[in-house]
C-alpha cells in the first residue's frame, strides 16, 4: 500500500460560517458537501469541516491543528490579513528552520503556514 494523500478534519460550531471563512478569507475552494460535512481544498491541501454533531457524534469543537507547507508566506499573510484573518503569530524566521505564521478560526482550530529556511 502506498498512501496517496490525507485530509485533516476540523470540528466547527457553525458549518456555514466556517465554510465562508475558509473560502472567502483563507482562499480554500469547495470540494464537496454532504449534510453537516464539507470538503475544501487549497492546492494539494485537503481540509474537511464537520458540524460537531454530524451523524450523531458529539465531538468537541476546536482544538485542531495543521501545518501547511507553502511558498510566498509573507504575501499570503498580507492578503488574508486584509480579508480579516485572525492571526495569532506574525510571520518570522524560526530557530527550527521555518518561516511561518499561525492563525485560528473562530472555533480555535489552528493553521500554521510556512516554508523551510536555512538556519545557521
What average pLDDT score do residues 5-29 get? 95
Neighbours of 2 (CB within 10 A): 3
List pLDDT tens digits, range 27-82.
999 999 999 999 999 999 999 999 876 555 566 787 889 999 999 999 999 999 99
Q: Is the domain covering 7-52+61-116 a CATH 3.10.180.10 domain?
A: yes
pLDDT at 98 over 80: yes
Residue 75's pLDDT is what? Answer: 96
Residue 62's pLDDT is what? Answer: 78
Neighbours of 45 (CB within 10 A): 18
Q: Give the three-class secondary structure for 51.
A: strand
Q: Give the three-class secondary structure for 55.
A: helix
The dihedral formed by the CA atoms of 40, 41, 42 and 46, expressed in degrees to the nearest 10: 110
The domain locations on the chain are: 7-52+61-116
Q: How far apart are the first and last CA of the chain?
A: 38
Q: Could you tell me the pLDDT band of residue 4, with boundaries at 50, 70 and 90?
A: confident
Amino acid at each position: 500500500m502506498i498512501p496517496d494523500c490525507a485530509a485533516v478534519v476540523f470540528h466547527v460550531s457553525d458549518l456555514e460560517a466556517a465554510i465562508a471563512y475558509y473560502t472567502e478569507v483563507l482562499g480554500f475552494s469547495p470540494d464537496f458537501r454532504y449534510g453537516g460535512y464539507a470538503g475544501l481544498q487549497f492546492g494539494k491541501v485537503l481540509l474537511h469541516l464537520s458540524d460537531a454533531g454530524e451523524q450523531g457524534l458529539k465531538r468537541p469543537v476546536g482544538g485542531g491543528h495543521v501545518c501547511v507547507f507553502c511558498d510566498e508566506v509573507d504575501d499570503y499573510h498580507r492578503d488574508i490579513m486584509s480579508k480579516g484573518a485572525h492571526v495569532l503569530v506574525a510571520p518570522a524566521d524560526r530557530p527550527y528552520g521555518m518561516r511561518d505564521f499561525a492563525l485560528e478560526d473562530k472555533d480555535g482550530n489552528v493553521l500554521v503556514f510556512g516554508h523551510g529556511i536555512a538556519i545557521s
